[in-house]
Amino acid sequence: MKRIGEILSYLEEHIDEEHIAKVKERSKKALTYQNPDKPVLRICFPCDTFVGYPYEEVFNDMEKMMVSELVEYSNAADLKDDRIPMIRPNYGVGVLPSLFGIKSRVVGNNLPWVDHAESIDKIKDILNKGVPDIKSGMGGLIFDTIDYYREQLSGFPKCSRLIPIYQPDLQGPFDVVHLIWGSNVYYALYDEPELVHELLKLVTETYIVFLRELKKVINDEYDSFHYHWGILLPGHIVIRNDTAVNLSGEMYEEFVKPYDEILLREFGTGTIHYCGKAEQWIFSMMECENLRALNFGQPPNMDFGMEFLNKIYGKMKEKNLGIVNYELDKSIIQDIAKSEYILGVTYQTTVKNKKEAVELCKKLQI
- Over residues 148-174, the mean pLDDT reads 98
Q: In angstroms, how far is CA 199 from the centroid of its own chain?
A: 23
Give pTM, 2 decimals. 0.96
Q: For a pLDDT cut of 90, what percent of the chain falls above it?
A: 85
Give the phi and the psi of residue 292 in degrees, each rounded to 5: -120, -15
Encode pLDDT of 222-262 as tens digits.
Answer: 999 999 999 999 999 999 999 999 999 999 999 999 999 99
DSSP for 159-174, written as a single string? HHHH--B-------HH
DSSP assignment letter at 105: E
pLDDT at site 145: 99
Encode pLDDT of 86-122 as tens digits.
Answer: 999 999 999 999 999 999 999 988 999 999 998 999 9
Give the phi and the psi of residue 244 in degrees, each rounded to 5: -65, -15
- Over residues 128-153, the mean pLDDT reads 98
Give the integer Cα–Cα distance in Å for 29 and 36. 6
Return mean pLDDT, the chain: 95
Encode pLDDT of 292-340 as tens digits.
Answer: 999 998 765 567 789 899 999 999 999 999 999 999 998 888 888 889 9
Q: For a pLDDT cut of 70, what percent of the chain falls above it?
A: 98
Encode pLDDT of 61-88 as tens digits.
Answer: 999 999 999 998 998 888 899 999 999 9
pLDDT at site 335: 86
pLDDT at site 71: 94
DSSP for 215-281, written as a single string? HTT---EETTEEEETTEEEESS-EEE-TGGGGS-HHHHHHHTHHHHHHHHHHTS-EEEEEES--TTT
Q: For the chain, list the domains and their CATH numbers.
A: 2-364 (3.20.20.210)
pLDDT at site 300: 57
